[in-house]
Homo-oligomer: A and B are copies of this chain.
Amino acid sequence: MTPTWIAVDWGTTNLRLWVMDATGQVITSLTSSQGMNALQSGQFEPVLLDLLDPYLSDEKTLPVMCCGMVGARQGWTDAGYLAVPSGVPDGTNATRVTGTDTRISVHIISGLKQQSPADVMRGEETQISGFLRQYPDFDGVICLPGTHTKWVHISAAEVVSFQTFMTGELFGLLSKQSVLRHSVDVKEFDQDSFETALDDTMSRPQNLAAQLFNLRANSLVGDQSGAQARGRLSGLLIGAELAAARPYWLGQNVAIIGADNLAQLYQAALLAQGLSAQISDVTDMTISGLTAAYKSLAKA
């Protein structure tokens, strides 16, 4: 199969790349840890050329469609933002990276920004674009769990507003780098503790700050296990997020774009609030969104 174009999700810590054929199928997929944070501005092209080496030819130019932090100010090229309310960005408003090797032509999809309350996204707009290809009439709220979880209000195929929560990053910092690591840094996860803690912060969010050190103290003077502490920390933080995101999900049609355990935790948390949210796979949505952008580019 001949590669026709390249799809790239280039984030802060990772790069994921798919070699695509003319029918829209994935020929090969690659993952690299050379995310934006690991690279200086001049290193993006060499990294990409290195990964693409087996697929390059002097005879033709291979289109490369990228989304994610590669388009940030501190990335390869600033791909800017569309301001919400807005349709999802696609190839027509993507930024063409100038001065690259003639065997590739690189385009970076624009992010989305919101003036008030101030917020930004890069990468999730492409997942949303993929989701809207599959569900063009979706009206409601999309939750995208991750390091920075996004809640996105969609209406009439437009992004109306959105809000970002640092829940995943907070969980990582607290469980690996704070004093809680002595109690929480285990592989096991107790679901009951998650649900109890979720309920605790949902009903009394003002008590969150008082609950954190308690996770450490409970392993010192109580009989709390590591799995219970880990489940509880996750429940406290996701509970605090859900309490603050209530205007987004309350009485809404909610969909989740995510993967694995984290998406399932959000699904369980929403179910506890009486909301049944379906999970769409984040990789599928990303490839679909990048495909939409590539196709709109070809048409333009």
Contacts and interface: CB of A to CB of B under 8 A. Distances in A.
A298 interface: no
Nearest to A240: B209
B178 A119 contact: no
Contacts of A244: 206-210
Contact of A177 (B163, B173, B216, B218): B173
A74 to B, nearest CB: 8
A119 B214 contact: yes
Copies in the complex: 2
A95 B221 CA distance: 19
A76 interface: no
A148 B180 CA distance: 12
A156 interface: no
A222 interface: yes
A114 interface: yes
Interface in A189-215: 205-210, 212-214
Interface stretch (A164-172, A249-257, A276-284): A164-172
A177 B179 contact: no
Interface in A220-259: 220-222, 224, 237, 240-241, 243-246
A210 B120 contact: no
A163 B213 CA distance: 9
Interface string A260-283: 000000000000000000000000
B206 A178 contact: no
For A180, A206, A214, A222, which residue has the most chain B Cβ atoms within 10 angstroms?
A: A206
Given A205-B205, A209-B240, A210-B165, A217 B120 contact: yes
A40 interface: no
26 contacts: A113-B221, A114-B217, A118-B224, A148-B213, A163-B210, A164-B217, A165-B210, A165-B213, A166-B178, A166-B179, A166-B212, A166-B213, A169-B178, A169-B179, A173-B174, A173-B177, A173-B178, A205-B205, A205-B206, A205-B208, A206-B206, A208-B208, A208-B240, A209-B240, A209-B245, A210-B244
